[in-house]
Amino acid sequence: MRLCRSFMPLFLGVLVCSAGWAADEPLPKAEEILDKFVEVTGGKAAYENIRNEKWTGSFEFLGKGIKGTVTSYRADPNKSLTSMELEGVGTIKEGTDGQTAWESSSLQGPRVKKDEERAFALREATLRGPLYWRKLYKHVETIGQETIDDQACYKVVLTPEEGKPETQFYDKKSGLMVKMTATVTNPMGEIPTETMLSDYKEENGLRQPHKIQQKAAGLDFLITIDRFDYNVDLPANTFDLPADVKALAPK
Amino acid sequence: MRRMRPLRLVSLFLFAAVSASPSDQRQLNLDSFEFIWTTVHDQYWDPTFGGLNWQAVHDELRPRMERATNMAEARHVMREMIDRLGKSHFAIIPADVYADLDEREEGSGPATTGLDARVLGGKTIVTTVDEGSPAGIAGVHTGWEILSIDEVPVAPALRRITNLDRDSTMLELHLARSLEAKLSGATGSEARIEFVDGEGRHVTKPIERSEPPGSLSRFGYLPPMHVWFHSRRVAKNIGYLAFNLFLDPAHIMPEFGDALTACADCTGVIIDLRGNPGGLGIMATGMAGWFFDKPDQRLGTMHMRQAPIKFTVNPRLPTYRGAVAILVDGCSASTSEILAEGMKDLGRARVFGTRTAGAALPSAIDKLPNGDGFQHAVADYISEGGKSLEGAGVTPDVEVKLTREALLAGHDPVLDAAIEWIHTRK
């Protein structure tokens, strides 16, 4: 549900945005902007109707010739499992069981996320994230306007209980989130990321972005989502920790 | 010691000039020139370009680029532009490389004779002969000197390279690449190699080139390459692991882990990175994970313009706790250097051999508008001990050089030194 999520912190991204203040215009409260986003993407009832979500798509590192496929599942309240098949590399998985956030790949082996990284992963895994922003963030504030790809946007800073503030940009006309910036903290360091969201389409009552372009560390990463499905039949053990992750997880 | 398979195959695939470019090709070349200049301008980790006036380089070379009438001239100008930076991991990969390899993808790649050679003491000496390879079947022995390949003497070209790169840490790498280019060719083609054998006799052997060992691996715009891994015991309690590239992690990483697990009770293991030119940098931290049980240790840090990226080791189970020796030579480059120096800095490995290539910059490969590949370094790399590896390389803890005499006697002095050290660790 929170498709601004960071799949691979090294590979996230930004698009050009130019500052363009409308100096005298009063800024709406962040609460209004975030609640409006819920309305324009389907409404509270539509969000409350879903128990789980599955989406499939493809991704590529733009200009690098590296491609792959991705399948992602989420379930109430904050369970997730994302599997990426990267050409020439193999499978990279990450997920949460609602408590433990983890990732595993042939490259690095299994790893349990800690502290800020864990908190970020659990926020990202929240199935109805847009609806629950009050639970996920301790403070939200509209700090200005910016023009992004010719769209006038409100700039909202959201501060979580644990972790660094995130900045989201909402189209003034449509109310849709079109960009997010965040600093992802992981064992590789603190990596600034920017994410562009576009191609919103309605499927089964919810409008979701189907193109997500992320930039980080000089790399440009595009995810194209084929489809979303909701309330699908998932095996009961879908979000169970893999055995090698379980061996590392706090007892 | 083992056959070097350059990560950048540029030197293996320099094609002759093609006929004059049509106007659209000319424009594509100009677009490529601008793409390269802009990419470096925007992404080079040092915004001062080490004091080089990058705008002036553009303004000087752009008119020559506009006058270029064919691909060879265009590539020459583009190469000159990136050479001005004086760093490794900048290259133009001709589009022909991709097309050529795509056509031969079915189990192919540059075919080899199964021998590897290095320049030792001014002579080109066979350092490895793969068991069962065409060279092995032909009776070629380590320690033999190569005089000519296909009736072309090897010495003059090697002298030219030596004169050019005399002061560069990459001299051995360039010499080996030049030899590799001469030794490799189409599958089924014949290399006529003139040797001096162990008794001083001149011997000429026709050797048919065959498919390289390993499986063909693809990653992004790197040309497809064969990747192999092998492990064995070199003594009762000493394991030996070798692989030719840090690529194809879906296969290489589990094989590496399995080999360590199979040697869990070994006194020590030897990781042979000689001739390994690198690959995916992150595989170095992934492999190091099997040697540490404490988190948050780093091999080094990659310094990009955007942010520093730490090469943090993620501990993996089961932890291998025995001694670790890493073998390197002047053809160990990039990810090999990151792993060797990082393990050395963390006190987890002892490094044997000769100084590495000093070509350790993390890089990316983009496709240019004219179809060529453009490899460009995106970061500087500083090992955990504070050493920049670029232009310096990894200095072994124990310097051991190959000699013709030892090779003729069937010895590998570098491997022998590592084995001897591990025996003392009992």
Residue A1: its pLDDT value, please? 43
Judging contacts by C-beta atoms under 8 Å, the chain A residues touching residue B258 are: none
Q: How far is B371 from chain A (nearest CA, A)?
A: 12
| Mean per-residue pLDDT, B165-182 | 87
Q: Is B6 on the interface with A (CB under 8 A)?
A: no
**Per the structure, how many domains does chain B have?**
3
pLDDT of B332 above 70: yes
Q: Is residue B237 part of a domain?
A: yes
Confidence band for A9, pLDDT divided at 50, 70 and 90: very low
- Domain match, B240 and B355 both: yes
Q: Please say if the pLDDT value at position B6 is more than 50.
A: no
User: Average of pLDDT values for A91-97?
Assistant: 96
Q: For residue B180, give the H/E element and its range.
A: helix B171-183
Q: Please check whether residue B174 lies inside any domain of the structure.
A: yes
CA pair distance B305, B46, nearest whole angstrom: 7
Question: What residue spans of chain A are helical by DSSP H?
Answer: 30-40, 44-48, 115-125, 133-136, 243-246
> How wide is the angle at C-alpha B126 spanned by C-alphas B398 and B165, nearest 5°?
65
Give per-residue pLDDT as tens, B37-47.
Answer: 999 999 898 99
The 10s digit of each residue's pLDDT in A145-187 is 999 999 999 999 999 999 999 999 999 999 999 999 999 999 9
User: So what's the pLDDT on residue A178?
Assistant: 98
Q: Is the pLDDT of residue B248 over 70?
A: yes
| Nearest-angstrom CA–CA distance, B353 and A85 | 38
Q: Give percent above pLDDT 90 in chain A.
A: 81
Query: Interface of chain A against chain B, CB under 8 Å?
Result: 10, 61, 63-66, 87-91, 106-111, 187-192, 216-219, 244, 247-248
Taking CB atoms and an 8 Å cutoff, what residues of chain A touch B307? 189-192, 217
Chain centroid, CA A141 distance in Å: 19
Q: What is the pLDDT of residue B167?
A: 82
Q: What is the pLDDT of residues A28-51, one digit of tens each?
A: 999 999 999 999 999 999 999 999
Do strands B350-353 and B398-399 pair parallel, antiparallel, or not at all (unpaired)?
parallel
Write the CATH number for B50: 3.30.750
- Asked if residues A223 and A209 have their Cβ atoms less than 8 Å apart, the reply is no
Identify the three-state secondary structure at position B104. Answer: coil
Cα dist. B37→A51, B28, B61, B78, B85 in Å?
A: 51, 14, 10, 9, 11
Residue in this structure with the two tokens 């313009």, named with its chain if needed: B305
Give the sign of the dihedral formed by CA B259, CA B232, CA B2, CA B229.
negative
CATH architecture of A9-227+240-246: Clam (2.50)
pLDDT at A59 over 80: yes
Counting beta carbons within 10 angstroms of the beta carbon of residue B114, is it exposed (0 to 12), middle (13 to 18) or buried (19 or more)? Answer: buried
* Domain shared by B192 and B336, yes or no: no
Rounded-to-integer distance, Cα A68 and Cα A61, Å: 9
- Is a pLDDT exceeding 80 seen at residue B54? yes
- Tokens read off for A115: 């502290």
Question: pLDDT-derived band of residue B14, with 50, 70 and 90 as boundaries?
Answer: very low
| More confident: B88 or B385 | B385
The whole-angstrom separation of Cα B175 and Cα B153 is: 14
Q: Are residues B330 and B237 in the same domain?
A: yes
Lookup result for tokens 């900045």 = A167
B360 and B337 in contact (C-beta within 8 Å)?
yes
Does A223 score more than 80 pLDDT?
A: yes
Confidence of residue A191 (pLDDT cuts 50, 70, 90): very high
Q: Do A106 and B285 touch (CB under 8 A)?
A: no
Is B364 in contact with A219 (Cβ distance < 8 A)?
A: yes
Return the higher-pLDDT residue of B128 and B306.
B128
Q: Let me know whether B130 and B22 are in one domain.
A: no
Taking the C-alpha atoms of A106, A109, A113 and A114 in order, what is their torsion angle to the nearest 10 degrees? -150
Question: Are B150 and B270 in the same domain?
Answer: no
Tens digits of per-residue pLDDT, A195-209? 999 999 999 899 999
Q: What range does the domain containing B140 cover?
A: 111-208
Query: Are B121 and B233 within one domain?
Result: no
B104: in domain: no
Strand ranges (E), A101-205: 101-105, 109-112, 137-148, 151-160, 166-171, 177-186, 189-203
Tens-digit pLDDT profile for residues B390-403: 889 999 999 999 99
Which of A3, A6, A2, A4 lies closest to A185, judged by CA?
Answer: A6
Give contacts of B365 with chain A, Cβ < 8 Å.
64-65
Average pLDDT estimate for B68-78 = 93
B9 falls in which pLDDT band (50, 70, 90)?
very low
Confidence of residue A243 (pLDDT cuts 50, 70, 90): very high
- Reported as a single tens digit per residue, the pLDDT across B268-320 is 999 999 999 999 999 999 999 999 999 889 999 999 888 899 999 999 999 99
Cα B328 from Cα B338, distance rounded (Å): 12
B213 domain-assigned:
no
Whether residue B226 lies inside any domain: the answer is: yes
**What are the structure tokens assigned to B192, written together?**
């006529």
- Of residues B133 and B375, more confidently modeled: B133
A106: nearest CB among B254, B308, B365: B254
Residues B357 and B228 in one domain: yes
pLDDT at residue A8 in the model? 38
Q: What is the mean pLDDT of residues B74-95?
A: 90
Would the pLDDT of B240 be above 80?
yes
- Whether B143 is covered by a domain: the verdict is yes
| pLDDT value of position B425 | 86
User: What predicted TM-score, i.e. pTM, was given to this entire model?
Assistant: 0.87
User: Both B337 and B404 in a single domain?
Assistant: yes
B272 and B343 fall within a common domain:
yes
Distances (CA, A) of B83 to A45, B42, B52, B94: 61, 17, 12, 16
Closest CB to B220: pick one of A88, A111, A192: A88
Task: Please give the Cα distance from B36 to B376 (Å, whole number).
Answer: 9
* DSSP tag of B20: P
Put simply, the answer to whether B309 touches A108 (Cβ < 8 Å) is no
Q: How far apart are CA B279 and CA A248, in angstroms?
A: 29
Same domain, B77 and B131: no
Chain A residues in contact with B309 (beta carbon < 8 A)? 10, 188-189, 191, 217
The last residue of one of the domains, among B208, B242, B270, is B208
- Decide if pLDDT at B235 tops 70: yes
User: B218, A106: Cβ pair inside 8 Å?
Assistant: no
Residue of A12, A102, A111, A188 to mutate, interface with B, max B Cβ within 10 Å: A188
Judged by CB atoms closer than 8 Å, whether chains meet at A109 and B250 is answered as no
CA distance B251 to chain A (A): 8
Indicate the SS3 state at residue B359.
coil
If asked whether residues B24 and B127 sit together in one domain, one would say: no
The answer on B259 and B313 residing in a single domain is yes
Give the 3-state secondary structure of residue B175: helix
